[in-house]
A and B are shown apart, each in its own frame.
Chain A
Amino acid sequence: MRIGRRGFLQATAATAAAGAMLRPAPARASLAPEDGAGVLVDTTLCVGCRACEGACAEANHLPAPPSDDAVLEQRRDTSEDAFTVVNRTEKAPGVLRHAKKQCMHCLSPACASACPVRAMNKLPSGPVVYDPARCMGCRYCMLACPFEIPKYEYGSATPRVRKCSFCAERQAQGQPPACTEVCPSGALTFGKRAELLEIAKSRIYTNPDRYIHHVYGEAEAGGTSWLYLSDVDLGLLAMKGDVPGKAFPELVAGALAAPPFVMTLWPPLLMGLYAISRRREEGEGGPDRAASEGEDAHG
């Protein structure tokens, strides 16, 4: 198959055009506008009553959490049957601190970007929701989440990924999430994330000795909907402290931009090598090669 210079250029142009058309939508850092819902968790106000755990279990039809508060002595994590847990630490003798752990509903969630079928999806209103009808159970979301929140039903033959849904259905009907509704001490404040961030910062500003000067969730993983104020290291309260400040989908954006380049560049590159190697081989044959070039002889 003799290509010739013109054909070569035509092929290159065609593949470049095809590659441009096939380019997918670029992965931008934020999948949702900043005025989504959020919750401010002020751990200095939490008394460890665990009413939020009970409300969550009721709203999501989960088994009731353990009634004995002695479980607060253990370090607990969310599970396939518990979308939220409260952990306790002792700041000073007799002074206890608690923190509620659940899905952080990141602004640019790693899990939603990782899901190949968009079973994990970020709603513009804020919640990151899961659709088991689409999920194929690859568990990539579990690996992607820097907070290690999604849990899996390994014991089931039709397993689902389990995590807090931010009561997306309740929010769609104008109600606040179940946990924020029952909190008696005002530790949980539900509102717009941007406003809550301002509130958090103003609390630090007006009470500089009361808090560590850091709003957990402001920059972690590129920003989360659940924001935390604390006067102790949150790592003591089972929150992950090593979460980078970059939005996780950005980490793969470069690699994801490569396929269209490969699809565009490889054909001319490879066909060029093919033409060169072919020409080199024909060069051994002599000038009258051109006469017999073309069809294979059929008997």
Chain B
Amino acid sequence: MTYDLLSVYPAKLLEYGLAIGYLLLFIPFWRYLEGGRPAPARAPRRAAAAVGQAGHRGWFRLPAGLHVHPGHTWARLDGDGLVTVGLDDFASKLLGPLAVKVPAVGVPVAQGEAALEASDGRRSVRLAAPVEGTVVEVNDGAGAAHADPYGAGWLFRVRAPRLGSNLRQLLSGSAALRLLEDASEELARRMNPELGVVLQDGGAPVSGIARTLAGDGWDTLARGFFLT
């Protein structure tokens, strides 16, 4: 098979014709692809959070507009890249009026990594930060964390640079309510033997259930609920 120069020319014509044709077709193809209505931008989920009132699932509640981390801490966007962080109803009821140690100003926290510590003096359990960032403000009145975990009981504020990617790992609206619902179911299952203690008080778990658990129960608590 010797190289036949003359047969190369029609082949090259076809080749370049094909390539140019492809480039010409590519432009309308790209425009077709990029056209179409834009994504609903997760409007359904936000809509549920905005329209719905404070949800009440199981034994715990959750107001609208908050983003919840599966480790039971919440984040609220304050604008300007600042985010307020606190414990959700489940965590605060579970821990009761325990002292919660918050990180100092200037300390960096990472999403999903332990940032808070609740202790009764002898045992402690850690909770995860819901977003990544640097602490810029700490709540002096953090003692209200137990009574008003979503309002005056906020724990600290961070400057979160990667809010976009952090938010994708958080739940809001009906997904967050489902998280609380599942947590309360799980708690009920684990508490079954101790349900007697609860029922005497009228059916809803009183605050500070954690204290009644045995020592190694705290580790189970941390792993199972707070994910630390």
Assess whether B115 is in contact with A297, with CB atoms less than 8 Å apart: yes
* Chain B residue at minimal CB-CB distance from A282: B161
Assess whether B126 is in contact with A299, with CB atoms less than 8 Å apart: yes
Assess whether A281 is in contact with B114, with CB atoms less than 8 Å apart: no
* Chain B residue at minimal CB-CB distance from A288: B159
Per-residue interface assignment for chain B, residues 13 to 46, with 1 indicating a CB less than 8 Å from any chain A CB and 0 otherwise: 0000000000000000000000000000000000
- Which residues does chain A contribute within 8 Å of B162, judged by CB atoms? 281-282, 284-285
Interface of A is mostly: loop
Instruction: Tell me how far the C-beta of B153 lies from the nearest C-beta in chain A, rounded to whole angstroms.
Output: 21
Q: A245-B1, A299-B228 are in contact. Are A284 and B110 (CB under 8 A)?
A: no
- Which residues does chain A contribute within 8 Å of B114, judged by CB atoms? 298-299
* Residue of B107, B108, B164 with most chain A CB atoms under a 10 A cut-off: B108
Assess whether B134 is in contact with A291, with CB atoms less than 8 Å apart: yes
Assess whether B1 is in contact with A289, with CB atoms less than 8 Å apart: no
Kindly state whether residue B2 has any CB partner on chain A within 8 Å: yes
Instruction: Tell me how far the C-beta of A281 lies from the nearest C-beta in chain B, rounded to whole angstroms.
Output: 7
Instruction: Tell me how far the C-beta of B77 lies from the nearest C-beta in chain A, rounded to whole angstroms.
Output: 14
Kindly state whether residue B130 has any CB partner on chain A within 8 Å: no
- Which residues does chain A contribute within 8 Å of B1, judged by CB atoms? 244-246
* A119–B2 alpha-carbon span in the complex (Å): 32
* Chain B residue at minimal CB-CB distance from A290: B161
Per-residue interface assignment for chain B, residues 103 to 137, with 1 indicating a CB less than 8 Å from any chain A CB and 0 otherwise: 00001111001110100000000101100111000
- Which residues does chain B contribute within 8 Å of A289, judged by CB atoms? 161
User: Within residues 186 to 244 of chain A, which ones have a CB less than 8 A from any CB in chain B?
Assistant: 244
Assess whether B161 is in contact with A285, with CB atoms less than 8 Å apart: yes
Q: How many residues of chain A have a CB within 8 Å of chain B?
A: 17
* A137–B159 alpha-carbon span in the complex (Å): 63
* Chain A residue at minimal CB-CB distance from B2: A245
* Residue of B108, B114, B161, B228 with most chain A CB atoms under a 10 A cut-off: B161
Kindly state whether residue B217 has any CB partner on chain A within 8 Å: no
Kindly state whether residue B224 has any CB partner on chain A within 8 Å: no
* A295–B108 alpha-carbon span in the complex (Å): 9
* A295–B110 alpha-carbon span in the complex (Å): 10
Assess whether A296 is in contact with B161, with CB atoms less than 8 Å apart: no
Q: A291-B134, A297-B109, A297-B113 are in contact. Are A286 and B161 (CB under 8 A)?
A: yes
* A297–B128 alpha-carbon span in the complex (Å): 11
Kindly state whether residue B200 has any CB partner on chain A within 8 Å: no
* Chain A residue at minimal CB-CB distance from B228: A299
* A100–B4 alpha-carbon span in the complex (Å): 33
Assess whether B161 is in contact with A284, with CB atoms less than 8 Å apart: yes
Assess whether B81 is in contact with A296, with CB atoms less than 8 Å apart: no
Kindly state whether residue A158 has any CB partner on chain B within 8 Å: no
Kindly state whether residue A292 has any CB partner on chain B within 8 Å: yes
Assess whether A292 is in contact with B228, with CB atoms less than 8 Å apart: no
- Which residues does chain A contribute within 8 Å of B161, judged by CB atoms? 282, 284-286, 288-289, 292
- Which residues does chain A contribute within 8 Å of B117, judged by CB atoms? 299
* A286–B113 alpha-carbon span in the complex (Å): 22
**Known interface pairs A245-B2, A281-B162; 7 further A-B residue pairs with C-beta atoms within 8 A, sorted by A's residue number:** A286-B161, A297-B107, A298-B110, A298-B113, A298-B114, A299-B114, A299-B117
The 10 closest A-B pairs by CB, nearest first: A285-B161, A299-B114, A297-B110, A292-B108, A297-B108, A289-B161, A244-B1, A296-B110, A292-B134, A297-B109
The 19 sampled A-B contact pairs (Cβ below 8 Å) are A245-B2, A281-B162, A284-B162, A284-B164, A285-B81, A286-B159, A288-B159, A288-B161, A291-B134, A292-B134, A295-B108, A296-B110, A297-B113, A297-B115, A297-B132, A299-B113, A299-B126, A299-B128, A299-B228
